[in-house]
Amino acid sequence: MADRYFSPEEVEALVPDLTRLMGEVMDRHGAVQALGERVREERQRLTMAGGGMPSASWREDAARLERLLAEVQARLKAIGALGGVVKDLGQGLVDFPHLREGREVNLCWKYGETAIRFWHGLDEGFAGRQPL
């Protein structure tokens, strides 16, 4: 059982903040994926070569990756503080607990939506979205 249930209007009031935060998360998440791949490839190359000193650019990439991950975590924490549960970073999905006809469900918001129009059961996810 959730600590708090949201109405569609309450979530809609959060949409400007959600849009900003999730936009920043999605932007940084894309950068994290690309940078993470480069860092992993260099680490693997060093391992295959039996060790060695990482290049200055690798150290810069690794430090930037850590900063980006911290920024993503901070924004995810901010979304959680609003009451949302992030479900998918790629699509920008955030759920909010809601009571519908006495049943606990989730109001479903997707990055880019300006209104709350959908809900789904706790075990159904995005594919099970239904109109309010």
pTM: 0.85
Long-range CB contacts for residues 115-124, cutoff 8 Å, separation at least 24: 115/8, 115/12, 115/15, 116/8, 116/11, 116/12, 116/15, 120/95
Sorting pLDDT into bands at 50, 70 and 90, what band is 53? low
Sorting pLDDT into bands at 50, 70 and 90, what band is 88? very high
What's the mean pLDDT in 44-73? 82
What is the distance between the alpha carbons of residues 3 and 85, in angstroms, rounded to a whole number? 13
What's the mean pLDDT in 28-32? 91
What do you get for the CA distance between the two ends of the chain, in Å?
A: 21
What's the mean pLDDT in 10-15? 98
Return the pLDDT at 1.
Answer: 75
Q: How far is CA 11 from the centre of its chain?
A: 17
* 131 backbone dihedrals φ, ψ, rounded to 5°: -65, 145
What's the mean pLDDT in 67-90? 96
**Selected residue with higher pLDDT from 124 and 48:** 124
Phi-psi region of 112 (alpha: psi -120 to 50; beta: other; left: phi over 0): left
Structure tokens at 112: 């880019």
What is the distance between the alpha carbons of residues 124 and 117, in angstroms, rounded to a whole number? 16
**Under 8 Å between Cβ of 117 and 103:** no
**Selected residue with higher pLDDT from 60 and 92:** 92
pLDDT > 90? residue 75: yes
Instruction: Indicate the average pLDDT of the chain.
Output: 91
What's the mean pLDDT in 36-43? 81
